[in-house]
Structure 1
Amino acid sequence: MTTGHSSTMGPGPTESSSLKLFGDLDDLHNWTELIHFFNHTFSECEVKLNENVKRVVLFVLYLAIFVVGLVENLLVIYINWRSLGRGRLLHLYVFNMAVADLGIILSLPVWMLEVTLDYTWLWGSFFCRFTHYFYFANMYSSIFFLTCLSIDRYVTLTSSSPFWQRHQHCVRKGVCAAIWVLSALIPLPEIAHIRLVEASDPMCLFLAPFETYSTWALAVTLSTIVLGFLLPFPLMVIFNGLTVYQLYRVGRPEARRHCLLVCAYVAVFVVCWVPYHVTLLLLTLHGDHIYLHCYLVHILYFFYDVIDCLSMLHCVANPILYNFLSPSFRGRLMGAVVHYIPKEKARKGRGSSSSSSTKHSIVITKEEAQTN
């Protein structure tokens, strides 16, 4: 497992980085026992895997996710910010989810450079902790907002409570504030054990006391899996499924489209997070709790970085699924684009394309009306 941002949730760094590190850090832990553990784990077999190729692939993946995710989430934040000003507070969860995804995206250059430098940390002790904290807080926020959005859609569709009709906007604001506070608190126990190790090459690592290391690693991993997947995923499936059922029951024409979107929501969440959590759990349990074949351990350690990187594809998928596939959002996006077209160009083209311009304006107006 790497020393990258999500490696702190697992049992430790890569075997090569760890062994390179131990010779310079005898005063931190009982390194003799730790070295014995890694020697026992990795000396039974040898798997030839090309670290240089992996670094190049990771760099390209990080860069692609960063560029695409940055553009998408900035557009979503801007368009939904304009909508919030017009009283469309149903978009509040989408707006906050985009802010959280943007926070994850903004941390990618650090992990990208860290991979390129063979996991050498060059940004000091404060940023060692802060960057990890910033990533984890935004990761939990994004997942929680996604879950609350699924619940809110069903409640809004089915509730006839006068209290909800009067106070739904205040409830949404309170829930969003609570999510940010909760997401800020959850990573603190883990961040307390992240340290900058000043070896020949500085490294940012999860270093709990050696005597309780396995317990801490397992506790952090289980909390990550429960809070990041086992709780939100069933809630998403249940409430999205209930929403689709309700739409079919009342004969709404958008029921089939929403059913397909729900399938896409579930598929993306599973593809992004199941491989990550399964790999994380296996690597954490290996050694003290279960014994995996050494070939499997090598492969899991090697591909953990790639799986971790691919989990961040949700920052690219969320804007598409929850915004760009919506006719309402596309209408508001086109309205914003038309608003910023230079007036001189608009006047020049008005004579030759007046009929098409009029038709386009009508489409935008209809889309705006549907969202009010």
Structure 2
Amino acid sequence: MTADLYNITYDFNNTPWFVYECTINLDKDYKRIALFLLYLVLFMVGLLENSLVVWVNWRRRHSANGVLFCIINISLSDLMVVFTMPFFMLEVTMDKVWLWGRFLCKVTHLIYVINFYSSSFFLAFMTLERYLSVAQPSAPSCFPLERRRWFLCSGLWVFSLLLALVENVHVDLLEWSEPGCYMVPEHSHTEWFVSVSVLCLIFQFLGPASVIITCNVLIARAIGSSPDVENRRDRWLVHLYSFVFLACWFPYHLVMFLLMVDDLDPHLFSCNMVEVLYFSFSVVQCLSLFHCIANPILYNFLSKSFRNNFINAVVNCLPLPSAREPANTADGSGTTPGKERKLSDASTSQSDIGS
């Protein structure tokens, strides 16, 4: 939605300059089909994964583990944006026609932008917490006590909300030939778009990325000296965390930065370049949401401790065997079927590094 409205520069004949230079022809119908399918995959897989993560980890939310606390908030943030994806799917299919009124126009965009910031903030704090627990176990935790933990968590959510409101106050429903949900600043569009782009670049990408990459490099160094094969595997996994974050968000911010440059100097890029940028914006925006699928896999499903807790949660939900059945201890564990089979609950709910 950010890139839908932009300044048009005219020549002396009051004709857009790019009318004479545009030669590229991009197929927007194929793009709409591809985006619909991508959003459909994101919705179904993201809903299943993040629901499982919240269900399993919420049972241990009072744990002293700060990493676990961050993971719960990341999954809650991702779930929020996953619930808005059906609106994006239909908007893409109908070529930006919005049929659900002004209220949902503003609310869905607000939820998206809150997730835009909050998921990166909690990822950065989680990575910092992991670094402190692995590389400097004697250092104080970022989430030391439960009260302070909830206070810091609330602060991050409020800060994300304030950053989102800066952009969302200009989102409104426009009734043209067809209704559409757009950003319409009251004053100079160029100044507003540049300000929002710089704000997003610093707080959502550059700041969290610097923390995530730096801490992951330090964690990899801390565990790299170990001859253990599993630790060597975990070292590559740590670098994968940084790579996935960059893969999701770097293309989006690169396109946003180039659009900002084009807004400041409309004659700098060729017409074909501008067309490609605006064509690709909705694509990279959709691809950035793949963090809703990647985060549960990287920080939960690859973890042995999470899988153990998931099995334990499933076992606890199963009906107890009948009291008439004799106890069976053939597995040698000394446990009976009527007793709860408690699995590992001590390690972090992600990579087992530092557990």
> Which structure has the higher relative contact order (CA within 8 Å, separation 6+)?
1
How many residues were matched structurally?
A: 342
Equivalence map 1:77-96=2 (5 Å): 77-96=54-73
Residues 331, 367 of structure 1: 8 Å contact kept: yes
Shift, 1:191, TM fit: 1.3
Q: Cα distance 1:338–1:167, how it changes in 2: closer, same or farther (>3 A)?
A: closer
Alignment of 1:287-298 (within 5 A): 287-289=263-265, 291-298=268-275
1:106 Cα offset (Å): 0.9
In the TM superposition, residue 171 of structure 1 has moved relative to its aligned partner by 3.9
Q: Please give the per-residue CA displacement for 1:313-363, whole angstroms capped at 9, x wherever unaligned.
A: 000000000000010000001111222234459999x97x9539989x9xx
Query: What are the superposed Cα offsets for residues 154-192 of structure 1, whole Å, 9 maximum, x if unpaired?
Result: 22331425x659944444333211110100100112112
1:102, 1:271 → 2: CA distance? 20
Matches within 5 A, 1:219-298: 219-248=195-224, 255-289=231-265, 291-298=268-275
Alignment partners' CA distance in 2, 1:309 and 1:345: 50
- Name 2:183's counterpart in structure 1: 206
Counterpart contact for 2:224–2:235, Cα < 8 Å: no
Give the conservation status (yes or no) of the 8 Å contact 2:131–2:216: yes
Alpha-carbon distance change, 191 to 368 in structure 1, aligned in 2, over 3 angstroms? closer
CA contact (8 A) 2:78 2:292 kept: yes
Unpaired runs of 5+ residues, structure 2, are: 349-354
Which one-letter code corresponds to 1:219 in the other structure? S
Cα distance in structure 2, aligned partners of 1:254 and 1:62: 36
CA distance in 2, matches of 1:154, 1:286: 40
Corresponding residue number in structure 1 for 2:114: 137
Give deviations 1:8-42, integer Å, cap 9, x for gaps: 2x4x34xxxx9xxxxxxxxxxx99969x9983235
Which residue does the alignment assign to 1:3?
Answer: none
Normalising to structure 2: TM-score of the pair? 0.85
Question: Structure 1 CA distance, aligned partners of 2:23 and 2:96?
Answer: 22
Q: Give the conservation status (yes or no) of the 8 Å contact 2:66–2:143.
A: no
What is the Cα deviation at residue 295 of structure 1?
1.4
1:111 maps to 2:82: no
Which residue of 105, 120, 129 corresponds with 2:97? 120
Superposed CA offset, 1:258-305 (max 9, x none): 311211111111111111111111122215326112112212222221
> In structure 2, what residue type is equivalent to 1:141?
S
Taking the aligned partners of 2:77 and 2:194, their CA distance within structure 1 comes to 26
Aligned-pair identity in percent equals 36
Q: 1:215 maps to what in 2? A: 191
Matched, 1:45 2:22: yes
Q: Quick check: 1:101–1:139 contact (8 Å CA) kept in 2?
A: no
Q: What displacement does 1:122 show?
A: 1.2
Once the two structures are TM-superposed, the CA of residue 365 in structure 1 deviates from its matched residue by 4.6
Higher mean alpha-carbon deviation, 123-132 vs 82-91, is at 82-91
* Post-superposition CA distance 1:219-247 (Å, at most 9, x none): 11111111111111011011122222223
Q: Secondary structure at the match of 2:112?
A: helix
Q: Residues 243 and 208 from structure 1, CA distance in 2 versus in 1: closer, same or farther, beyond 3 angstroms? A: same
Kept in 1, the 8 Å contact 2:50–2:79? The answer is yes
CA 250–49 in structure 1, closer or farther in 2 if over 3 Å, else same: closer
Maintained 8 Å contact 2:50/2:76: yes
Q: Which residue of 1 aligns with 2:138?
A: 160
Q: Secondary structure at the match of 2:233?
A: helix
Residues 1:200 and 1:149: Cα distance change in structure 2 (over 3 Å): same
What is the rounded CA distance, in whole Å, between the counterparts of 2:38 and 2:80 in structure 1?
Answer: 17
Q: Deviations over 1:46-100 (max 9, x none)?
A: 3222211111111100000100000000000011101114554541000000000
Residue type of the partner of 1:281? Answer: F
Bigger fraction of residues in helix = 1
RMSD: 3.2
Q: Please state whether the residue corresponding to 1:331 is helix, strand or coil.
A: helix
TM-score (norm 1): 0.82
User: Quick one: distance in 2 between partners of 1:166 and 1:142?
Assistant: 17
**2:254 and 2:221 mapped to 1: Cα distance?**
31
- Structure 1 contact 247–254 (Cα < 8 Å) conserved: no
Q: What is the CA–CA distance in structure 1 between the aligned matches of 2:155 and 2:227, rounded to whole Å? A: 35
Matches of 1:93 and 1:106, distance apart in 2 = 20
- Structure 1 residues 273 and 86, CA, compared in 2 at 3 Å: closer, same or farther? closer
